[in-house]
Structure 1
Amino acid sequence: MLSRIRAAYARIEAVDRPEIWIDLRPEDEVEAEARAVAARVAAGEHLPLAGRLLAVKGNIDVAGLPTTAGCPAYAYRPEADAPVVARLRAAGAIVLGTTNLDQFATGLVGTRSPHGAVRNAYDPEYISGGSSSGSAVAVALGIVDLALGTDTAGSGRVPAAFNGIVGLKPTRGLVPTAGVVPACASIDCVTVFARTLPEAEQALSHMTSGTLPSLPGRPPGPWRIAVPAREQLGELDEGWAEAYEAAIEQLVTAGASVREIDLTPFTEAAAMLYEGAFVAERYTAVGSFVDKLIEEGSADLDPTVAGIITRARGIPAHQLYADHDRLAALRTRALAGLADADALLLPTTPGHPTLAEVAADPLGVNARMGRFTNSTNLFDLAAVAVPASEVSGLPFGVMLIGPAFTDERLARIAGLLRPETRIAVVGAHLTGQPLNPQLLSLGARLERTTTTADAYRLHALATTPPKPGLVRVGPDGGGAAIEAEVWRLPAEGLGRLLAALPRPMALGSVELADGERVPGFLCEPAALVDAEDITSYGGWRAYLQGDPAPRQP
């Protein structure tokens, strides 16, 4: 356990992502807790999560740490853990700290925080997704094994999709929300993130308030998956429709049957979450406090969050009743549409925006992110978000949605999705090089040998084992084509590579000679000081062989 903790703190320093955390516990304090857990195990206690490191979203109570909900002025010190935290600790999990979020859990972007925008685990120019941004990235980067988030409009699923991990959003009420700062208390859910589905399921089994109720028996036969017509998905990012179709094909190949569903009631309800009267519940939760901070001119308030919450102040009661009636009608249509389907399969989001795109249009981009997720809790449905593939070097995720208390069923169906992704390597992971066995151990297989686009430079780093650093400079910056191999591997394997990646290496999007982008190993520019520029060799192997006729960039 102690070695895992020390590796986590080393990883925190290596990834240099301070925006992930609101409060990080001192390492010696965490080690002391680990020794106590180890002593309990040695005494014969059964602790299934012994030694698993846990991050907790900053709107969930952790004894000894302030609960801020992403607003320093709101901070209070809870006397006890929230029940969900206490249950995981009782099973042996060890809390590392509390994580950053869209303030007051208001947003799906991960940028609305005085602690800074949480950057994507794969490409820091892209958003991490919110509101459970810090929790998801802490898992994706391998700092922790498990993390708690919350999900009102999709906050336990959107960041899972954007960071290539699993997000379980249980049926409302299955996991207690006591000790959680509410966003919309009537539909809030506590969720869990993990790098694999079995890890997430194991954690959820310790978080629940009892066993699932018995469900009516389903007719025999293959899993029945509902999918909308392509035109009902609306505008998707480039390559996303194809990735979604590939996920459908994976389920069909695994034996599932697919039928069409009308997505209209889902998308109409999704729009109601912020455009209708339901947003008034956010004002009920923290509105008076936000008003007070505005009067004081506090710098702790995120302006976008403050605007959303204060605009809800004047919503008339009759609109809320009208919206409840409309929602009930939409829910009836949605459930009738699901009928005998075991699950609805959707892309988790319509696309993956950059930080710059969110800054330019914070409300519009956020609204688009919730197109497929906003209705889930309004309709009292369960959901699981899982990686499906990658598009342009970034994770692509899908979610399975089903009626209340079908959580286990959704997980079983999600387990049929065995997504593969690819990675471009240019150095120590190449065939025959010292770190290639790391790829092989993850089940990777070589797809092809190629080159990057002529937009990179290669440097020899002083590391053990020796490895090069690839940095993008663009064709106008003296870039050249560098020999590369593209490997296929299970999606969770890419997450494990990322979790173990030592500084100054980073995972990013690498452009290949044919213009395609795939995840690949890049290098932090700061590490290139005094490193030998070996671009002229055209690749790492040529450099090692001392090619007497090096190629010129």
Structure 2
Amino acid sequence: MTGVGAALERVVAAYARNVAVDRPEAWISLRPEAEARAEAADIDRRVAAGERLPLAGTVAAVKDNIDVAGFDTTAGSPAYAYAPSADATAVARLRAAGTVVLGKANLDQFATGLVGTRSPYGAVRGAWDPMRISGGSSSGSAVLTALGVVDIALGTDTAGSGRVPAALNGIVGVKPTVGLVPTTGVVPACRSIDCVTVFARELTLAREAAELMSGPDGVDPLARVDVPAPPLPARPVVAIPTSEHLEGLAEGWAETFRGVVGRLAASGVDIVEVDIAPLLEAASLLYGGAFVAERTAAVGGFIEANRDLIGTDIDPTVAAIVLAGAEARAVDYFRDREKLERLGLEGLRRLEGTVALLTPTTTWHPTLDEVAADPVGANSRMGRFTNFANLLDRSALAVPAGVVGGKPFGVMLTGAAFADRTLAQLAERISAPAIEVLVVGAHLRGQPLNHQLVAAGGTFAAAVTTSADYRLFALATTPPKPGLVRVDAEGASIEGEVWRLPAAGFGGFVAALPEPMGIGSARLADGSVVSGFLCETVALQGAVDITAFGGWRSFLASKA
């Protein structure tokens, strides 16, 4: 789309990608493309006029318990739907920074669940294995991000809903300190501990979005001002659970977790084992004690008044959980509050001297059938390491940390309140370094093989040109693609794009490349060297030299 601004080009690519991935259950409502294009074109005009919009060129999905003006908010229940008069504060701040919201994402109804199957709009299937769950409750948000339909997605997290689906789909999930991002315009699950969370395929983008949304808005009485944490020590200490608390993980996960611990230690971090039993016991209070009454206070009245809809518009498991809170008495709450405080004090005492606790994000990745057979039991296994964080006012960050059996494995860093930036610094040491790859043809944005880069976890980095010692040929392949060859003389600069891929995704991507394509070193016009698509010279017999066009898109435009 020569001459089109970055925002409009990204919107067009997003709708094309949405058709390609064919995951309708991930959305509850999708904006008309023409409307999104118009907003993107306006963003491009504003950027061209000199306005600073840090998220221009990105698109987002919003979990459907967060208000977006122009869309009904359903919280996963058609009967509950209402039309908000304004964007939620978090959404308004993202849009003010230049992102374009494409629609509202599916979720576990009333944000009650960690599985992604509790919705009358359909169970959201995992991004990379449609026989397995996506994780919840921010299911659609995570899957749309993982599949590259959107760059950013908003979720919410009370028990782990912004972290568990991140781990199961191989993306980043940022759960800020409670109150850092105002919850104005968010349907409450447990109002006092709810968080607005961010999904992205890159840590940097996820953290940028979280920072842009943070700060009191004068409306949410629970919003808090950030209190900068102390700088990360030269040799930080990170806690990990003792072995008994890692029992029962999915096959291969414990071994992969030990590998992550080893990488972190090799980066200059001291590792200590800690018995986190008090924290895990505190976690059990979220659903096993009187705290569930806060869910009843949020939406119990609606469910009680609409009992005839249970089994159709209202999920039976969700209804049972929410209505059970009506049994709690005030004295039960205060007893559980005291128990939580004592467990929290002991748990944090055991973590004294550490900057974070490193754990697997969750314990397993069940199939849809396994969850259907035991919806409560399967769900309870998901939140072992996540449920205590908000109850005890902790920050947390989930990051991808490898692949086990062809499926993503993720880990989580949990730290003190307001340690959000500290966790991000540690997470950078965990993540395998991204690999930059130059593409010049069918893998460019909007071209037929771009989905392969996105599926490998790739993110667009920059439009570039090579140094002036390459020639470009049109190969006789299906789909059509060019071959880039470095020459000793009579070369030229060729237009292309640099994409960043995680190490695991890069390996799989390269292994799947058909002949005559290969990966080698490519020099850019600025003198830097990246990995790049290069073509075997044997494949050039009969190929057409198209160097004069300066790039693949220009060549295609000439044919059109």
The equivalent residue for 2:502 is: 490
Q: Is 1:464 aligned to 2:479, yes or no? A: yes
Deviation at 1:465, TM superposition (A): 4.9
Deviation at 1:313, TM superposition (A): 1.4
User: Residues 76 and 120 of structure 2 are in contact (CA less than 8 Å); yes or no, is this contact kept in structure 1?
Assistant: yes
* Alpha-carbon distance change, 9 to 496 in structure 1, aligned in 2, over 3 angstroms: farther
User: Residues 261 and 337 of structure 1 are in contact (CA less than 8 Å); yes or no, is this contact kept in structure 2?
Assistant: yes
User: Residues 402 and 504 of structure 2 are in contact (CA less than 8 Å); yes or no, is this contact kept in structure 1?
Assistant: no
User: Residues 61 and 82 of structure 1 are in contact (CA less than 8 Å); yes or no, is this contact kept in structure 2?
Assistant: yes
Q: Size of the alignment, in residue pairs?
A: 447
* Alpha-carbon distance change, 39 to 128 in structure 1, aligned in 2, over 3 angstroms: same
The equivalent residue for 1:232 is: 245
2:273 aligns to what SS in structure 1?
strand
1:150 aligns to what SS in structure 2?
strand
1:108 aligns to what SS in structure 2?
coil
Q: Is 1:139 aligned to 2:164, yes or no? A: no
User: Residues 63 and 154 of structure 2 are in contact (CA less than 8 Å); yes or no, is this contact kept in structure 1?
Assistant: yes
User: Residues 55 and 148 of structure 1 are in contact (CA less than 8 Å); yes or no, is this contact kept in structure 2?
Assistant: yes
* Alpha-carbon distance change, 496 to 108 in structure 1, aligned in 2, over 3 angstroms: farther
Q: Is 1:362 aligned to 2:368, yes or no? A: no
Q: Is 1:198 aligned to 2:204, yes or no? A: yes
Deviation at 1:234, TM superposition (A): 2.8
Deviation at 1:314, TM superposition (A): 1.4
The residue type equivalent to 1:102 in the other structure is D
The equivalent residue for 1:113 is: 119
User: Residues 166 and 193 of structure 1 are in contact (CA less than 8 Å); yes or no, is this contact kept in structure 2?
Assistant: yes
CA distance in 2, matches of 1:231, 1:49: 44
The residue type equivalent to 1:259 in the other structure is V
Deviation at 1:301, TM superposition (A): 0.5
TM-score, structure 1 length as denominator? 0.77
Pick aligned residue for 1:86 from 75, 92, 97: 92
The equivalent residue for 1:29 is: 35
Pick aligned residue for 1:183 from 183, 186, 189: 189
The residue type equivalent to 1:22 in the other structure is I
The equivalent residue for 1:71 is: 77
Deviation at 1:10, TM superposition (A): 1.1
Pick aligned residue for 1:39 from 45, 56, 70: 45
CA distance in 1, matches of 2:159, 2:70: 29
2:314 aligns to what SS in structure 1?
coil
* Alpha-carbon distance change, 193 to 256 in structure 1, aligned in 2, over 3 angstroms: same
CA distance in 2, matches of 1:6, 1:496: 27
Q: Is 1:273 aligned to 2:283, yes or no? A: no
The residue type equivalent to 2:226 in the other structure is L
The residue type equivalent to 2:400 in the other structure is P
Deviation at 1:493, TM superposition (A): 4.1
Deviation at 1:109, TM superposition (A): 0.2
User: Residues 310 and 319 of structure 2 are in contact (CA less than 8 Å); yes or no, is this contact kept in structure 1?
Assistant: no
Structure 1, 311-320 or 87-96: larger mean CA deviation: 311-320
Deviation at 1:495, TM superposition (A): 12
CA distance in 2, matches of 1:58, 1:13: 21
The equivalent residue for 1:212 is: 226
1:416 aligns to what SS in structure 2?
helix
The equivalent residue for 1:512 is: none
Give the gaps of 5 or more residues in structure 1.
Answer: 423-427, 445-461, 467-488, 502-553
* Alpha-carbon distance change, 496 to 66 in structure 1, aligned in 2, over 3 angstroms: farther
The equivalent residue for 1:55 is: 61
User: Residues 146 and 457 of structure 2 are in contact (CA less than 8 Å); yes or no, is this contact kept in structure 1?
Assistant: no
User: Residues 195 and 492 of structure 1 are in contact (CA less than 8 Å); yes or no, is this contact kept in structure 2?
Assistant: no
Pick aligned residue for 1:284 from 288, 294, 297: 297
Pick aligned residue for 1:247 from 249, 256, 260: 260
Alpha-carbon deviations, 1:8-66, whole Å to 9, x = none? 11111111110000010000000011111112112221000012101000000000000
Q: Is 1:302 aligned to 2:286, yes or no? A: no
* Alpha-carbon distance change, 312 to 496 in structure 1, aligned in 2, over 3 angstroms: farther
- Summarize the alignment of residues 501-520 of structure 1 with structure 2, pairs less than 5 Å apart: none
The equivalent residue for 1:376 is: 389
Alpha-carbon deviations, 1:242-299, whole Å to 9, x = none? 0110110010111111011111011101111111111111000000100111146672
2:398 aligns to what SS in structure 1?
strand
CA distance in 1, matches of 2:243, 2:340: 24
Give the gaps of 5 or more residues in structure 2.
Answer: 1-6, 217-224, 436-441, 459-476, 482-500, 514-560
CA distance in 2, matches of 1:161, 1:378: 21
User: Residues 223 and 413 of structure 1 are in contact (CA less than 8 Å); yes or no, is this contact kept in structure 2?
Assistant: no
User: Residues 164 and 495 of structure 1 are in contact (CA less than 8 Å); yes or no, is this contact kept in structure 2?
Assistant: no
CA distance in 2, matches of 1:179, 1:494: 39
The residue type equivalent to 2:159 in the other structure is A
* Alpha-carbon distance change, 418 to 130 in structure 1, aligned in 2, over 3 angstroms: same
User: Residues 57 and 150 of structure 1 are in contact (CA less than 8 Å); yes or no, is this contact kept in structure 2?
Assistant: yes
Structure 1, 79-88 or 201-210: larger mean CA deviation: 201-210
CA distance in 2, matches of 1:111, 1:34: 33
CA distance in 2, matches of 1:392, 1:246: 15
The residue type equivalent to 2:15 in the other structure is Y
Deviation at 1:2, TM superposition (A): 2.0
1:367 aligns to what SS in structure 2?
helix
CA distance in 1, matches of 2:359, 2:414: 8
Instruction: Give the fraction of aligned pairs with identical amino acids, expressed as a percent.
Output: 59
CA distance in 2, matches of 1:324, 1:20: 37
Deviation at 1:418, TM superposition (A): 2.6
The equivalent residue for 1:319 is: 332
User: Residues 201 and 457 of structure 2 are in contact (CA less than 8 Å); yes or no, is this contact kept in structure 1?
Assistant: no
Deviation at 1:307, TM superposition (A): 1.0
The equivalent residue for 1:153 is: 159
Deviation at 1:7, TM superposition (A): 1.3
Q: Is 1:259 aligned to 2:265, yes or no? A: no
Deviation at 1:72, TM superposition (A): 0.6
Q: Is 1:7 aligned to 2:19, yes or no? A: no
Deviation at 1:217, TM superposition (A): 6.2
The residue type equivalent to 2:502 in the other structure is P
CA distance in 1, matches of 2:287, 2:39: 42
CA distance in 1, matches of 2:313, 2:449: 46
User: Residues 23 and 98 of structure 1 are in contact (CA less than 8 Å); yes or no, is this contact kept in structure 2?
Assistant: yes
* Alpha-carbon distance change, 80 to 443 in structure 1, aligned in 2, over 3 angstroms: closer
Deviation at 1:194, TM superposition (A): 0.3
2:10 aligns to what SS in structure 1?
helix
The equivalent residue for 1:417 is: 430
CA distance in 1, matches of 2:174, 2:503: 17
Pick aligned residue for 2:136 from 130, 149, 152: 130
The residue type equivalent to 1:112 in the other structure is R
The equivalent residue for 1:337 is: 350
Structure 1, 339-348 or 31-40: larger mean CA deviation: 31-40
CA distance in 2, matches of 1:268, 1:31: 50
Q: Is 1:102 aligned to 2:108, yes or no? A: yes
CA distance in 2, matches of 1:463, 1:241: 43
Deviation at 1:200, TM superposition (A): 0.6
Structure 1, 227-236 or 385-394: larger mean CA deviation: 227-236
CA distance in 2, matches of 1:495, 1:121: 19
1:415 aligns to what SS in structure 2?
helix
